[in-house]
Amino acid sequence: MRVILERSNLLKSLNHVHRVVERRNTIPILSNVLLNASGAILEMKATDLDLEVTEATPANVERAGATTVPAHLLYDIVRKLPEGAEVMLRTDEDGNAMSVISGRSSFRLQCLPQSDFPELSAGSFSHIFRIDSAALKALIDKTQFAISTEETRYYLNGIYFHAIETGGKLKLRSVATDGHRLARAEMEAPAGSEGMPGIIIPRKTVSELQKLVDVPDVAVATELSDTKIRFTIGSVVLTSKLIDGTFPDYQRVIPTGNDKALVIDRQTFAAAVDRVSTISSERGRAVKLSISDGQVTLAVNNPDSGSATEELAADYSSDPIEIGFNARYLLDVAAQLSGGDARFMLADAGSPTLIQDTADENALYVLMPMRV
Amino acid sequence: MANSGKPRQIPLDLGHRPGHSRDELVVSDANRQAVALIDAWPDWPATVVVLAGPAGSGKSHLAAIWAANANAVFIEPSEIEAWVEDAPLTHPVVIDDADVQLDENGLFHLINAARAAGTHVLLTSRLFPSAWGVRLPDLASRLKAAATVEILEPDDLLLAAVITKLFADRQVEVEPHVVQFLVRRIERSLSTAIDVVDRLDRAALEQKTRITRSLAAHAVNALDLGQAELDLDGGGD
């Protein structure tokens, strides 16, 4: 293989694919990126056996061929080359090493044969549709923070995507929960997503996808079956296994009868929560909200260090209520909201609270209180 | 509710779906006979089969498997009369907890109808039919002719397998040594197993931890304390 291409093209593609490669691998080939030069393109591919990202970039292919080299190493080399440089990638006759040559810099990397590189066979897909990149990004952005990181609860380690008919319209919904809070976002279902199976996209795939769809006005081709999903974003193709589990019946925890409405300026509220929680311990960051006519009092009590309170004006006219929450969860939700005001729909101190975005009716959040 | 005074996160009640398929059935010496009989359908030794066993021993699970296999209908003891009068019996019939609110006449006619139609009746109960206190001699003789299999109190193997299944229903992974710990520590009954698994699942969700042996020890202690409180109240059924 002998190929010459612009550093910026190479860097951009490597940036997309190298993140898939885990820093530590027991299987050596999984540390490598597959390089495949043919025609006028260089294709790069990386995998962790659950997730695979491929990207093709234009290149001057002088001799077609393929090999694999350590992904993070190649990325770091290319990153440190000067801007605007041209890079030549050239394998030895015996294929045991590849040279990376740019200007006066020259590197030799050990190769592993491309025939050893694992293929994530996608099988056939049952549903194919296109989603606008910004809409897909919103579905991810609004829910990602609630994904569980507790590995033994594998069925919560991702975002649940499904199509659902609601109010006479078909919606595509994303839902994530860690058992303490839940986030739900929706958009009008794209044509072709009708009848798609409910799928759980793993956390790592979600976070790679989130970066890849951070480009405006791209129609993301989405293909899925009940075990795999594939996104094509321009020249990048991401293929991933799905989580083999059943997402809980989340509708049952979204309250519909909460009648105590609290409307409060979002940023003022978040800043106050952040301030009073300074005093709380690392564990159990509970903040107590005492809500009465037109006013919320935030209180934190830490037996080891002291206490804090802050009073805020708010729009509230129901019966007074005292309710505790994890301060971090309140801040997380507040950070997701886009409207100037946050609307809390409360029932009592032991029941789920609904939080709505006053500027975005497509998103909602459920927060379980803490017993304080 | 034990409350140490520290703030505690309340978990969302996400629920779970109990698995009632044949694949999810745990077989051990305690229920082997019953499973064999369910699997043997339609080659049954009698028109009526009775599954007798303690609460939580899997009678309803077995009945659900059989009903799916045999395309049988579940009927309530109180509805027997209507079923018998309505039409000739077209489907096999299951009555869960058949001895509760026993309609002796209705059951007698139902069994006759099943015999006439060449189909079967599956009854489940915590007791043997001889202990149901049947007064109608004709029904008593029909039940005497029934094939009755007993599901025993769980042995260690079954209890361990059931606890593993209960965790699997909730999609949580638990190490075998934690299951073994529970088997040794809890009261040997399946209803206790369900209770302790529920508590553990909730506690792990609350604390966002895996289900460890020390968490299991806490749950078992809490369960013991809870039972003590019940005893003091003098309640119980």
Q: What is the CB neighbour count within 10 angstroms for residue B69?
A: 14
What is the set of domains in chain A, with CATH numbers? Answer: 2-116 (3.10.150.10), 127-252 (3.10.150.10), 255-367 (3.10.150.10)
Tokens encoding A187: 């958009």
Residue B146 shares a structural domain with residue B180 = no
Give the containing element (helix H, strand E) for A14: helix A7-18
Smallest Cα distance from A307 to chain B, Å: 14
Tokens encoding B123: 């009854």
Tens of pLDDT, residues B14-42: 887 777 777 777 788 888 899 999 999 88
- At residue A342, φ and ψ (nearest 5 deg) are -110, 140
Confidence at B86, pLDDT banded by 50, 70, 90: low
More confidently predicted of B51 and B55 = B51
Residue B183 shares a structural domain with residue B214 = yes
**Would you call B2 an interface residue with chain A, using a CB distance cutoff of 8 Å?**
no
- Quick check: is B109 in a domain? yes
What's residue B5's pLDDT?
64
Q: What's the number of domains chain B is made of?
A: 2
What's residue B228's pLDDT?
45
Residue with tokens 């289900």: B211
This complex has an ipTM of 0.84
Tell me how far apart the alpha carbons of residues A45 and A36 are, in angstroms, rounded to a whole number. Answer: 8
Residue B61 shares a structural domain with residue B140 = yes
- Quick check: is B190 in a domain? yes
Tell me how far apart the alpha carbons of residues B16 and A153 are, in angstroms, rounded to a whole number. Answer: 13
Low-confidence ranges of chain A (pLDDT < 50): none
Tell me how far apart the alpha carbons of residues A116 and A112 are, in angstroms, rounded to a whole number. Answer: 7
**Cβ of B208 and A179 within 8 Å?**
yes
**Cβ of B7 and A152 within 8 Å?**
no
Residue B36 shares a structural domain with residue B146 = yes
- Quick check: is B87 in a domain? yes
Q: Choose among A369, A351, A367: nearest CA to A183.
A: A367
Tell me how far apart the alpha carbons of residues B213 and A287 are, in angstroms, rounded to a whole number. Answer: 31
- Quick check: is B186 in a domain? yes
Share of chain B above pLDDT 90, in %: 30
Who contacts A63 (Cβ-Cβ below 8 Å, separation ≥6)? A1, A2, A3, A37
The residues facing B41 across adjacent strands are none
Residue B143 shares a structural domain with residue B193 = no
Residue B52 shares a structural domain with residue B134 = yes
- CA B173 to chain centroid, in Å, comes to 23
Q: Residue B45 class from Cβ within 10 Å (0-12 exposed, 13-18 middle, 19+ buried)?
A: exposed
Query: In chain B, positions 133-172, which contact chain A (CB-CB < 8 Å)?
Result: 171-172
Evaluate the omega torsion of the peptide bond into residue B18 and state whether it is cis, within 30 degrees of 0: no
**Cβ of A182 and B10 within 8 Å?**
no
**Would you call B210 an interface residue with chain A, using a CB distance cutoff of 8 Å?**
yes
**Cβ of B12 and A150 within 8 Å?**
no
Tens of pLDDT, residues B100-117: 888 888 889 888 888 888
The residue of A302, A322, A368 whose CB has the most chain B CBs within 10 angstroms, and thus the best one to mutate to test that interface, is: A368
Smallest Cα distance from B215 to chain A, Å: 14
- Three-state DSSP at A173 gives strand
What's residue A284's pLDDT?
62
Provide the CATH number for the domain around residue B192.
1.10.8.60
Look up the domain containing B119 and give its range. Answer: 32-150
Smallest Cα distance from A372 to chain B, Å: 5
Longest CA–CA span in chain A (Å) reads 81
Residue B40 shares a structural domain with residue B115 = yes
Residue B142 shares a structural domain with residue B84 = yes
- Three-state DSSP at B57 gives coil
- Quick check: is B8 in a domain? no
Residue B88 shares a structural domain with residue B170 = no
The secondary structure of residue A197, as a DSSP letter, is: P
- B-chain residue closest to A180, CA distance: B11
Q: Please calculate the CA angle A263-A356-A284 and round it to the nearest 5 degrees.
A: 85
The secondary structure of residue A340, as a DSSP letter, is: S
What's residue B180's pLDDT?
93
- Quick check: is B166 in a domain? yes
Residue with tokens 């809980």: A248
Provide the CATH number for the domain around residue B79.
3.40.50.300
Contacts of residue A154 in chain B, CB cutoff 8 Å? Answer: 171, 173
Residue B138 shares a structural domain with residue B172 = no
Q: What is the CB neighbour count within 10 angstroms for residue B144?
A: 11
**Cβ of B208 and A326 within 8 Å?**
no
* A-B Cβ pairs (cutoff 8 Å, strict): 75
Residue B145 shares a structural domain with residue B102 = yes
Residue B124 shares a structural domain with residue B222 = no
Smallest Cα distance from B174 to chain A, Å: 8
The whole-model pTM stands at 0.81
Question: Does B66 score more than 50 pLDDT?
Answer: yes
Within 13 Å, how many C-alpha atoms sit on residue A290's CB side? 7
Which of B150, B177, B195 is the last residue before a domain boundary? B150
Q: Residue A261 class from Cβ within 10 Å (0-12 exposed, 13-18 middle, 19+ buried)?
A: middle
Confidence at B237, pLDDT banded by 50, 70, 90: very low
Q: Residue A180 class from Cβ within 10 Å (0-12 exposed, 13-18 middle, 19+ buried)?
A: buried
Tell me how far apart the alpha carbons of residues B198 and B193 are, in angstroms, rounded to a whole number. Answer: 9
Which of B96, B130, B150 is the last residue before a domain boundary? B150
Contacts of residue B206 in chain A, CB cutoff 8 Å? Answer: 179
Q: Hey, what's the torsion of the CAs at B75, B79, B85, B86, to 10 degrees?
A: -60
Smallest Cα distance from A61 to chain B, Å: 50
What's residue A177's pLDDT?
97
Tell me how far apart the alpha carbons of residues A13 and A97 are, in angstroms, rounded to a whole number. Answer: 21
Q: Choose among A259, A242, A257: nearest CA to A206.
A: A242
- Quick check: is B17 in a domain? no
Q: What is the mean pLDDT of chain A?
A: 94
Which of B102, B121, B150 is the last residue before a domain boundary? B150
- A-chain residue closest to B203, CA distance: A179
Tens of pLDDT, residues B121-164: 999 999 999 999 889 999 999 999 999 999 888 788 888 988 99
Within 13 Å, how many C-alpha atoms sit on residue A247's CB side? 28
Query: What separation in angstroms does the CA of A136 have from each of A16, A276, B203, B215?
Result: 18, 35, 34, 39
- Quick check: is B88 in a domain? yes
